[in-house]
Amino acid sequence: MSKETPCIAVCIIDPQTKLCFGCGRTLPEVARWHRMESEERLSIMAELPERMRAAGLPPMSPSPARKTQGDAT
């Protein structure tokens, strides 16, 4: 994933806060993320830890990479 995304592949919206449990973004932010300028993305990303803390959402870890049939074990 790009360095300019907070996505950790835990894409579930909290019904109370309307924030993604994984990254802390709102659905409108997620929907227009690819159209934002780099400066706007970085600004939002700087706010996410405090946003999550204020909402009482614990920081999440990225989902483990899924292995495909051809991957080594």
Q: What pLDDT shows up at residue 50?
A: 95
CB 9 within 8 A of CB 63: yes
Q: How far apart are alpha carbons 65 and 36 in whole angstroms?
A: 27
Per-residue pLDDT of the chain (73 residues; tens, 9 = 90+): 457 999 999 999 999 999 999 999 999 999 999 999 999 999 999 999 999 999 999 887 776 654 445 445 4
Task: Centre a 10 Å sphere on the Cβ of residue 66 and count the other Cβ atoms it contains.
Answer: 7
Q: Look at phi and psi of residue 56 and say left if phi exceeds 0, alpha if psi is from -120 to 50, else beta.
A: left
Domains of the chain by residue range: 11-57
CA angle, corner 8, sides to 71 and 50, nearest 5? Answer: 160
